[in-house]
Amino acid sequence: MEYMEEVLNREYEIVVEGKKYLLKPTKAWILQPPDKPGVVVAQFKLPDGRVVRRVVMRLPP
């Protein structure tokens, strides 16, 4: 899973309540139900201390 390392090292533009942030994820994981396309979800910590999760990548079925 070399792409997970790539996900953690990349910066993403996150929009929260109309404000844009350029952040690196603190954690990332795959959600893939059986027989359905999966997604990579990443957790980001905002400068004000809040934590948000966003889908950063879609996987083939």
pLDDT in tens, the chain (61 residues): 667 888 899 999 999 999 999 999 999 999 988 888 899 999 999 999 999 999 999 988 7
Which residue segments constitute the domains of the chain, with CATH numbers given? 2-58 (2.30.30.610)
CB count in 10 Å sphere of residue 34: 4
Beta strands 12-16 and 19-23 are: antiparallel
Q: Identify whether the C-beta of residue 41 lies closer than 8 Å to the C-beta of residue 22.
A: no
Q: What is the mean pLDDT of the chain?
A: 92
Alpha helices by DSSP H, the chain: 2-9
C-alpha to C-alpha distance for 29 and 48, rounded to whole angstroms: 23
Asked if residue 59 lies in contact with residue 37, where contact means CB atoms within 8 angstroms, the answer is yes
